Amino acid sequence: MSVLELAGAGKEYAGGVVALRDVDLTIGAGEDLAIVGPSGSGKSTLLHLMGTLDRPTTGKVHIAGEDATALGDDALSRLRSRWLGFVFQQSYLADRLTAVENVAVGLLYAATPRRHRRRRAEDALDRVGLGHRRDHLPHQLSGGERQRVGIARALVNQPALVLADEPTGALDQDTGRQVLALFRDLHAQGTTIALITHDPIVADTFSRRVEIRDGRITP
């Protein structure tokens, strides 16, 4: 069964901008996919549809076999938090929470009993190589470390698919490379990843690439 399937998905924003047209895309368990395209081509719109953060104006989105377009908002949030993890350009950590507490935020909507949450968050921090920083606040971490905390928060619920939107976009080149290497390690350990980038060099490090131009996937 596919983890995610878009069928004829399109998006027209209020005001008439058609950002995405007729996108067919299937992601299977274990894949690592880069979605590449220039600025304004529709990448973020696509990620929002894939992540059920926004609804398509045409077509369907299936997550783990379930038709997300048929669900109401509450059921959709449950589907999203059960199957998907998100990483963005900014890590969006809470300033006053430690690294491990920020990671545990990823379990807020999960069925994990409270007493297991810290352990699960610690395990996720270990997976991104930050076990030794668990009690640091965000301002005590470097930019790359903050992004890794954000990645641990995306992983803590053991999502079927991690969606990453320009996760190295705010980092310097070396730190960006380290974060990409982390994604490669996570993929090697079985995490399914779809990553959006405008950078063809970043895209080249993924096994499968999909290119988007003017809101369409190029053949």
Give the footprint of ligand ADP on this chain (CB under 6 A): 13, 15, 17, 19, 37, 39-45, 133, 140-145
Angstrom distance (rounded) from CA 99 to CA 135: 6
Angstrom distance (rounded) from CA 57 to CA 172: 37
CB of 82 to ligand ADP, least distance (A): 25
Nearer to ligand ADP, 141 or 203 (CB): 141
Angstrom distance (rounded) from CA 214 to CA 36: 12
Q: Taking the chain, what is the end-to-end CA distance rounded to the nearest angstrom?
A: 23
CB of 38 to ligand ADP, least distance (A): 7
For residue 12, list its beta bridge partners: 18
Rounded to 5°, angle at Cα 32 from 131 and 153: 30
Amino acid found at 203 = A
CB of 29 to ligand ADP, least distance (A): 26
Angstrom distance (rounded) from CA 111 to CA 140: 31
Nearer to ligand ADP, 42 or 167 (CB): 42
Nearer to ligand ADP, 17 or 75 (CB): 17
CB of 211 to ligand ADP, least distance (A): 11
CB of 24 to ligand ADP, least distance (A): 18
Nearer to ligand ADP, 2 or 89 (CB): 89
Q: Helical H runs in the chain?
A: 43-50, 73-83, 99-104, 114-127, 143-155, 173-188, 200-203
Nearer to ligand ADP, 3 or 23 (CB): 23
